[in-house]
Amino acid sequence: MIKVGIVLIIAFIAVAIINDIKAPEKTRWFVCAKDEQCVVINGACGWTAANKKYANDAQKFQNWLKDFVKCAPGGYPEPQPPAVCVQNKCVVSVSE
């Protein structure tokens, strides 16, 4: 799971540089103050979360990113986890 996360981070940074996506623009997709502001979206390799206000933009980016990453199997386990706000960032809540 850590390797997948590292690959996603590297891919995200590369894509940001290639497409000249400004950091404040992409980070607003995930900023929150409470759980109700977050929604689960289909990430490039598994569930991820975004602010509801920017979910469409975040989903478009994740869909585009899928062409550039190789994912481990089993990226979308059921049931779908809830989206929560943790330290002002939308994340999926994964229980172990």
Q: Which two tokens stand for residue 32?
A: 């929150």
Q: Which pLDDT score is estimated for 13? A: 52
Report how far residue 18's alpha carbon sits from residue 88's, in angstroms, rounded to the nearest whole number: 27
Q: Which pLDDT score is estimated for 75? A: 79
Q: Which pLDDT score is estimated for 14? A: 52
Q: Which parts of the chain have pLDDT scores under 70?
A: 1-26, 95-96
Q: Which two tokens stand for residue 57?
A: 């933009």
Report how far residue 75's alpha carbon sits from residue 86's, in angstroms, rounded to the nearest whole number: 22
The helix/strand/coil state of 47 is strand
